[in-house]
Chain A
Amino acid sequence: MNDIISFISAHLPAFVVAVPLLGAFLTPLVSRIGDKSRNIFAIIITGLTSIFALLLANDVFTNGIRTYVFGGDYATGQTMVRILFEIDAMNAFMLIIAAILPFAAIVYSWGFMKEQTGLDKYYTLILLMTAGMLGMMMTGDMFNFFVFLEITSIASAALIAFWTNKGNAVAAAFKYIVISSIGALFVLFAIALYYGQYNALNMAVIADSIPVEMGFVDKIALVLLLAALAMKAAIAPMHMWLADAYGRAPSSVTVVLIGTTLASLYAGFRVIFTIHGNQLEQALNSWTIFGYEFSISLANMVGILLVALAVLSIFIGVFMALKQVDLKKMIAYTAVAEIGYMLLAVGAAIAVMGGDLEATAGYTALKGGIFHILNDALDIGLLFLVAGAVYYTAKQTSINKLGGLARNMKYTTVFFLIGLFAVSGLPPMNGFASKLMIYESTFQINPILSIVAILCSILLLAVFVKVFYSVFLGPKLPKFATAKEVPISMLIAMGIIACIIIFIGLFPDIVLQNVVTPAANALNDASSYIAAITGGI
């Protein structure tokens, strides 16, 4: 027994990706036995994956950076030729998100997808999507990241088009795959540029060999990577695919799609902080104006660009959400605005790097942004599950035709209230804790940023109060007289996420000290990421 435990814990990174991959390929065989056994098999596989991911995160938080080389032993300092997973505290933080969301999605789809056909392909693809998302979050090799990115986008596109009887689901999936494949091709172009320049595909080796002065090829590669990963992470003005894709997919698929979008955002941060980490404080250009020495560094430039895009994201997301009539599209535009919040905080932290504000405001902004990734994934996931429950009961998604549902669906109303408070940043939910940090730190960097952030938070509250009033409150409509509460599996899935939201909301400091601060420190600290591979600086 001890041998098995030590074997598993030695190869834990490989198990986290291998278990859903094996489960995905075994699902068509298991579904020959029956429907129930296939559902139970899928729940067991995602449960095992979540347990392994949480064990791995725990191991990294206590013991430091963990590397895993596929197919051989490796001594620090050798030339790196194999594919490698490198998991530091930031990866472990993303693994926590990836452990919760697919498990809730598969428990939810027991009840939600009960009358649909083609379910064995659905479970196969959702397990494949989970494997791809976990691979994207753990890998330390650039080309391996590209392969997992493509696996995830192909599986997601097929799942978005699940309801093929309606034309607009397939149209949304077509737009998603066009945008996704162009973004991935430009990522591959940038990877080829890095390979041609530094003869390495490993992130740590590239970070080690990149010179301090920024060359022309480095600039092209950074621009291509940032633009393509920003398009995959739905930053405005390239965010329009998100509304269609999230709005037309089944709700459980959307919950896992949120995880993949946030994984692309994480990859963008990894490129800026780690691969170009040595170049960030280097002055790109300096002028003397009126005898004043003025120099601008790469960090300032990238930070200002990201903050500008983030403010645009927040505005466009909130304004479009106010006008929508379709419930899921409205929540999708809210997701665009929330991704804007994450990018605002981290972009502001990058923009003041190396200056005099770095120690307090920049660090708090970085912690707030990273904390908001976790909070927002849970909040938007819960809201999409509630929207799916409303669709299951009422067979409509347009809020013009709904009303008075709180009389029939009491638990769903409570979950929607929790999601409403969390998304708009009202105490005591988790959204307030991270948004408070974002407001206070961006105020010190530039007051206009925090004015925009607070204003759009209030508008988000307006959006969701409108939805709550017109969907749940109101008189009993005669066409919903026979509507019942949703099945228990959907309630359990929503309950898991709601309990985690309330826990983080009531005890934010525990999560901040143990999970978010190590992640922020690991992101800032490129040299220990490199030293885990090359053994010394």
Chain B
Amino acid sequence: MIYNIPFIAVAALILIGLYTVIFKRNLIKIVIGITLIESGVNLFLITLGFRKDSVAPIFTSNPDVSQTMSLPVPQALTLTSIVIGVAVLALMLSFIVYIYRHYKTLDVRKVVGGDDE
């Protein structure tokens, strides 16, 4: 049972993130919701690599070959995903700065973007 807790946490994070994106009205809360979903997916990727009684996948100078190591490939995938998430977050926040300067409000129902002129 205790080995299932990370997967339950992943499901909870993604559901809370989706709830925040759909039902909250402030633009910054929507961005926080997207970050929550991203954290959930990253946690899922890391958890896939774990094996029972394993250590970090680093080769030291006197390796103990009887010790299992957790898989390093999901850790590389998660690093890539975290970096992409940071870039997307920076872009979304800079868009919010421009939107606030132009619309003077952060309510997502008013930032509709109608036709110009």
Question: Hey, which bits of chain A sit against chain B, CB under 8 A?
Answer: 143, 147, 150, 154, 157-158, 161, 164, 166-175, 177-178, 181-182, 185, 188-189, 192, 195-196, 201, 244, 248, 325-326, 329, 396-398, 401
Name B76's closest neighbour in chain A (CB-CB): A143
Task: Tell me whether A154 and B113 are in contact in the complex, defined as CB-CB below 8 angstroms, given that A161-B95, A170-B102 are known contacts.
Answer: no
Find out whether the CB atom of A182 lies under 8 angstroms from the CB atom of B34: yes
| A185, B98: Cβ atoms closer than 8 Å | no
- Chain A proximity mask over B11-38: 1 for CB below 8 Å, otherwise 0: 0001000000100000100100010011
Give the dominant DSSP class at A's interface.
helix
Q: Does B41 contact A (CB under 8 A)?
A: yes
Could you tell me the distance in whole angstroms from the C-beta of B95 to the nearest C-beta in chain A?
Answer: 4
A177 x B88 contact (CB < 8 A) = yes
Partner of A171, one of B14, B38, B99: B99
User: Within the complex, which residue of B38, B73, B91, B117 is in contact with A154, where a contact is CB–CB below 8 Å?
Assistant: B91
Known: A174-B99, A178-B21, A182-B21. Contact between A188 and B81, CB under 8 A?
Answer: yes
Closest 3 CB pairs of A and B: A167-B102, A168-B113, A171-B113
- Chain B residues lying within 8 Å of A174, measured Cβ to Cβ, are 27, 92, 95-96, 99, 111
In the complex, what's the smallest C-beta–C-beta distance from A56 to chain B, in angstroms? 26
Partner of A173, one of B21, B73, B80, B95: B95
- CB pair A326–B115 under 8 Å, yes or no, is yes
B115 touches A398 (CB 8 A): yes
Neighbouring B residues of A143 by C-beta, 8 Å: 77, 80
Partner of A150, one of B21, B48, B88, B115: B88
How far apart are B13's CB and chain A's nearest CB, in angstroms?
11
Is B84 an interface residue, CB under 8 A from the partner?
Answer: yes
Partner of B74, one of A171, A173, A195: A195
| Contact of A178 with B30 in the complex, beta carbons under 8 Å | yes
Q: List 17 A-B contacts (CB under 8 A).
A: A161-B98, A164-B98, A166-B116, A167-B99, A167-B103, A168-B114, A170-B98, A170-B102, A174-B95, A182-B34, A185-B38, A195-B48, A195-B74, A244-B113, A397-B116, A398-B115, A398-B117
Rounded to whole Å, the gap between the CB of A172 and the closest CB of chain B is: 6
B9 to chain A, nearest CB (A): 14
Bound CA span A150–B98, Å: 22
Closest to A168 in B: B113
Given A178-B30, A192-B45, residue A150 in contact with residue B84 (CB < 8 A): yes
B36 nearest CB across to chain A (Å): 10
Residues of B contacting A244 with CB < 8 Å?
113
B98 and chain A: residue at smallest CB distance: A170
Please measure, in the bound complex, the distance between the C-alpha atom of A169 and the C-alpha atom of B95, giving whole angstroms: 10
What is the CB-to-nearest-CB distance from B38 to chain A, in angstroms, rounded to a whole number? 6
Which chain A positions have C-beta within 8 A of B92? 174, 177-178, 181
B40-57 CB contacts (< 8 Å) to partner A: 41, 44-45, 48
Asked whether any CB of chain A lies closer than 8 Å to the CB of B58, the reply is no
Nearest A residue to B110 via CB reads: A171
**Closest chain B CB from A331 CB (angstroms):** 14
Query: Which residues of B have CB within 8 Å of A150?
Result: 84, 88
Alpha-carbon distance A169/B113, docked complex (angstroms)? 8
Contact partner of A147 (CB less than 8 A), chosen from B34, B80, B99, is: B80
